[in-house]
Amino acid sequence: MKALVITGIAATLFFTAASTEAYAKPACVRSSGESVIINGDLPSARIEAVNRAKLQAVEQVAGVDVKSRTMVENGALLDDIITTQMRGVVTSYRTLGEKRTDDVLNVDINACIEAMNARTALSALALNTSISLYIPSRKPSTGSKDRWEYEEDNILSQQMTSRLVEQGFRVRDIAETHAFSIKDIDAAFRGGKQAELRSLIYKHLSNSILIGRIEPTVSFNKGEDAGYGIKMPFNTVTARISYRLMSRGSDGRMIVLAAGTDEAKGLAPAVNDAYAEALKNLSEKFIPAILDKIYSRMREIGSSVKVRIEGIKDPSESLVLREALQKITWVSNVENIGLDEFRVSYPENPVYLANSLSQNGFIIVKYSKDYIRVRKVSGR
C-alpha cells in the first residue's frame, strides 16, 4: 500500500512539473514590423522595425485585440517601451527576412515570448482612459409584443459610448467580440467571473469595465383600465438597469467603483416606441452618474510627473509653456516649481505624457516614470 501511495505521489509530481514546464515554455511566433528610413540610416531603421516586430509578437501571445502601437501614436517612445516593459518577455528572436520599399523597411522575425509575462508586460501599457463596455437590453420582438429578445447594441449603450468618446476616452464594445454573455453578467454580479473580467480588460488594454443588463417591462398597455373608468392612452414601459463599474487595482484585482440599479419610464402609442423612450430617459439619469464615478477614479489614481523644459529664459516664456502643458489631453493640473520646471498631474502611464509632448513640438531628452526632460523644437 505504501509503495502505491509513493508511486502515486511521484506520478502526480511528475505530471504537475511537466504541465508547469509546458505552460512556462516560451511561445514562438512569426511577426513583422516596419519603420521609415530617415537620412539613409538603415541600421537605425532596422532596430526600430525589429522592436516593433517584437511588440507585435508579444501582442499575439498575450492575445490583445487593441494594438498598443495605436496607443503610442507616432512611435517616438516605442524603443523605450520595448526595453523597459518587454525585458524578460522576449527570450530570443531571429530575423527571417527584410524588404525595403522606397524609404520604408519591413522586417520579419520569429520571436519566442515568455507567455506568463507577456500579459503583465502589456498591462503596464493599458490606459486608465480606456473602458470596456457591455450593456445588453431586452427589447420587444417585432414578431410578437409578448416576446422580448436581447439586443447588445441599444440606445443606452450607444449614448454611453458617444459620451465617453466625446470626453476623450477610448471605448471598446465587448459585444463586438462575442466574448461575454448575459449569463456571464449574472455570474459577475454574484461575485464570480472575476478572472474573465480581468482577462477582458487585459485583452482590450483598458483598466476599467462597465457591465450591466437592462430589463424592460410593460407597466401599462394602451387601452388598459387605469381605474375610475379611465383607459390608458399610451403603452408604458419601465426600463430597469443593473450594473457594475469596475477597475483594476494596483495589485491586479478588480475593484468595484459603482454598483446598483436604476429605472426610468417611457410612454408612447406603440410598445417599441415606449421602450425606446424609456431607454432615452434612463440614459439621462444613468450616464451622468457613471461619468462622475469615472472622473472620481481618474482623480484618485492621478500621478505627478516633473517636467523640465530646456531653454526657458524668462518668466513670460515659462507662462506660455505652462499653458501649452495644460492643454495636453488628460493633464489636470500644472504648477511651476522653477522657471523651467513644472509639476504635471496626469492619470496615465507617464510614457503617454512624454509621447504627447513629442507630438506637441518637444524633443524628449530624458524619460523616467516621474521625470521628463524635453527641449523645444526650434521655430515652434
Residue 131 DSSP label: E
Residue 278 sits in the same domain as residue 135 = yes
How far from 147 is each of 23, 136, 217, 276, CA to CA, in Å?
47, 16, 11, 16
How remote is the C-alpha of 365 from its chain's centroid? 29
Instruction: Say yes or no: 295 and 308 in one domain.
Output: no
Rounded to whole angstroms, how far apart are CA atoms 284 and 191? Answer: 28
- Model's pTM, two decimal places? 0.78
- pLDDT score of 331: 93
**Is residue 277 domain-shared with residue 146, that is, in the same domain?**
yes
Same domain, 318 and 270: no
CATH number at residue 323: 3.30.70.100
pLDDT category at 199 given cuts 50, 70, 90 is: confident
Domain edge (last residue) among 271, 300, 329: 300
Please count the other Cβ atoms lying within 10 Å of the Cβ belonging to residue 297.
19
In angstroms, the CA 209 to CA 200 distance is: 8
Q: Are residues 277 and 148 in the same domain?
A: yes
Residues 186 and 72 in one domain: no
pLDDT at 20: 42
Question: Model confidence over 317-370: pLDDT tens digits?
Answer: 999 999 999 999 899 999 999 999 999 999 988 888 988 898 888 888 888 889
Per-residue exposure over 79-104, b if at least 16 CB sit within 10 Å of its own CB, e if not:
ebbbeebbeebbeebeeeebeeeeee
Round to whole Å and give the CA distance between 365 and 323. 21
Q: How many independent structural domains does the chain possess?
A: 3
Same domain, 135 and 258: yes
4 falls within a domain: no
Evaluate whether residue 356 is within a structural domain. yes
Backbone angles phi, psi at 341, to 5 degrees: -125, 145
Own/partner contacts of 83-91, CB < 8 Å, gap of 24 or more, are 85/121, 85/122, 85/124, 85/125, 86/54, 86/55, 86/58, 86/121, 88/114, 88/117, 89/58, 89/113, 89/114, 89/117, 89/118, 89/121, 90/54, 90/57, 90/58, 90/114, 91/26
- Residue 219: CB partners within 8 Å, gap ≥ 6? 236, 237, 238, 265
pLDDT tens digits, 43-58: 988 988 898 898 889 8
Answer whether residue 60 shows pLDDT above 60: yes
Closest CA to 242 of 189, 293, 198: 189
Indicate if 366 and 287 belong to the same structural domain. no
Identify the top-confidence range among 32-41, 81-90, 174-183.
32-41
Whole-Å CA distances, 338 to 139, 260, 262, 276:
59, 47, 49, 56
State which of 300, 331, 355 marks the end of a domain: 300
Let me know if residue 347 belongs to a domain: yes
Q: What is the mean pLDDT of the chain?
A: 82
Q: Which three cell numbers stand for residue 42?
A: 538603415
Instruction: Tell me the residue range of the domain where 108 lies.
Output: 19-123
Q: Looking at residue 262, what is its pLDDT?
A: 95
List pLDDT tens digits, range 100-139: 998 999 999 999 998 888 887 787 778 899 999 999 998 8
Report whether pLDDT(263) > 80: yes
